[in-house]
Amino acid sequence: MDFSSILSSIYLQMQPLLGQGKTANYIPALRDVDPLQFGMAVTLNNGNFFGIGDYQQGFSIQSISKVFTFTLALRLFEAEIYQRVWREPSGDPFNSLVLLEHEQGIPRNPFINAGAIVVCDSLISHFSKKHHRIADTDDGSKSTAFYEMMQFIQNCTSDASIGFDRQVFESEMKHGFGNLALANLMKSFGNLENDVAAVLKTYFQQCSVVMNVKQLSRSMLYLANNGTDPITGQQFISKQHTKRINSLMLTCGHYDASGDFAFSVGLPGKSGVGGGIVAVVPNKLAVAVYSPALNKNGNSLVGTKALELFSEYTGFSIF
């Protein structure tokens, strides 16, 4: 398949759409990025790479980080995590408190904010026990939960240069009232083990991780290869877990537009308000797009369209 031509064709067709949609407006660091950027990248299981546009432009992966942390949680303590977060679509926006209140502080799935915060909390508990350290103390040492998350993301990408954007992180810390509401509500129901402030600090760090679409498509190859990195041969999770993460991305990966994404793209994927979306074609490849202007559901407007075309041109779909 001629991926170069396909990407070129998509790139051209996206040009008239650039300028539509709006960047995330809740923090200046996201609001003020150039909304006209567009990059797209494909990494095949055999290692071949194809990129176009701003494919080397780093951006804040935001909610896409939830895939990495849920992978870690599944690997380390699957049974436990199922006690604290469900795996059903929520039918509500990503930050809704309504269902959370009705359902006694148990989030619908790990890909809405509340669920990801619970996953983050469980990882903090796990690593603080493992390293015999006080939970949440950020002493710069290499034993924090966030350090472990970064290690894992770098491993998945085979790229130790990946870091996080301190400005985005601090901006999130300063304006994260909605997430503070979610976290405190769960704490009031007993579904948060560590201090709310410590959990949110780690959570905002993970959201501030910076990648470009080249790295992002590379990092998700394990989900296109039954849990094992097809290039390094390193197994991150089991085949069974891989299926579960992919199914969760399909049913819950795009907030209350998940059904629409499944309907029109037909691939497991995850989006972030930074403007990135990554999708997986099982046994074949991972594809990532970046364009920071969002549609009304909070997903990259151009990114969504680009993936629809990608699915149409390649015929790739899990259905």
Which residues contribute to the site for a copy of itself (CB under 8 A)? Answer: 86-92, 96-99, 101-102, 108-109, 177-178, 180-185, 187-188, 196, 242-244, 246-248, 250-252, 256-260, 262-264, 266, 268, 282, 317-319
Identify which of 37, 13, 11 has the alpha carbon closest to the alpha carbon of residue 291: 37
Nearer to a copy of itself, 163 or 178 (CB): 178
Residue in the block written with tokens 């995850």: 270
Tell me how far, at minimum, the Cβ of 269 lies from a copy of itself, in Å. Answer: 12
Tell me how far, at minimum, the Cβ of 152 lies from a copy of itself, in Å. Answer: 21
Residues with catalytic function: 63, 66, 203, 255, 273
Nearer to a copy of itself, 150 or 250 (CB): 250
Identify which of 26, 109, 21, 100 has the alpha carbon closest to the alpha carbon of residue 70: 109
Nearer to a copy of itself, 53 or 230 (CB): 230
Q: How far apart are CA 121 and CA 65, in angstroms?
A: 14
Residue in the block written with tokens 């993970």: 206
Tell me how far, at minimum, the Cβ of 90 lies from a copy of itself, in Å. Answer: 5
Tell me the three-class secondary structure of 249-261, residue by residue: HHHHCCHHHHHHH
Q: Identify whether the C-beta of residue 6 lies closer than 8 Å to the C-beta of residue 14.
A: no
Nearer to a copy of itself, 1 or 197 (CB): 197
Nearer to a copy of itself, 159 or 308 (CB): 308
Nearer to a copy of itself, 44 or 192 (CB): 192
Q: How far apart are the first and last CA of the chain?
A: 20
Q: Identify whether the C-beta of residue 249 lies closer than 8 Å to the C-beta of residue 270.
A: yes
Tell me how far, at minimum, the Cβ of 64 lies from a copy of itself, in Å. Answer: 18
Tell me how far, at minimum, the Cβ of 37 lies from a copy of itself, in Å. Answer: 28
Tell me how far, at minimum, the Cβ of 100 lies from a copy of itself, in Å. Answer: 8
Residue in the block written with tokens 């070129």: 8
Identify which of 184, 38, 185, 172 has the alpha carbon closest to the alpha carbon of residue 99: 185
